[in-house]
C-alpha cells in the first residue's frame, strides 16, 4: 500500500558552492571557457581575452578544470596560493 505521506523524505539536489574564490564564474566565448568576474557584466576574461560572444555561463566545478582556458586556469591556481 506504500508509506504514509508523513514518512516520505524529499531530497533536494545540493548545488556546487557559489564561492567565487573556490568556484568562479566561467563564460563560454567562441569555443573556450574563461574565468570572468561576472557572467553578464564582464568584458574581459582573467587571461585578457576580450569577451565578444557570450554563449553560456556556468561555474568552474560544473565544467571541470580540463575544459578551461589554460591561461585562466594557471591564474586561478596562482591566486589560490
In a domain, 13, yes or no: no
Q: How many domains does the chain have?
A: 1
Per-residue pLDDT of the chain (81 residues; tens, 9 = 90+): 554 545 555 555 555 567 878 899 999 998 999 999 988 889 999 999 999 888 899 999 999 999 999 999 999 999 877
Is residue 31 domain-resident? yes
15 part of a folded domain: no
Host domain of residue 38: 20-80
Q: What number of other Cβ atoms are within 10 A of residue 53's Cβ?
A: 9
What global pTM score does this model have?
0.76
Amino acid at each position: 500500500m506504500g508509506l504514509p505521506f508523513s514518512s516520505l523524505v524529499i531530497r533536494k539536489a545540493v548545488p556546487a558552492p557559489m564561492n567565487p574564490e573556490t568556484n568562479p564564474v566561467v563564460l563560454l566565448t567562441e569555443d573556450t571557457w574563461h574565468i570572468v568576474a561576472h557572467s553578464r557584466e564582464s568584458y574581459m576574461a582573467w587571461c585578457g581575452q576580450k569577451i565578444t560572444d557570450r554563449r553560456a555561463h556556468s561555474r568552474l566545478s560544473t565544467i571541470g578544470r580540463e575544459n578551461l582556458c589554460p591561461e585562466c586556469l594557471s591564474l586561478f591556481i596562482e591566486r589560490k596560493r
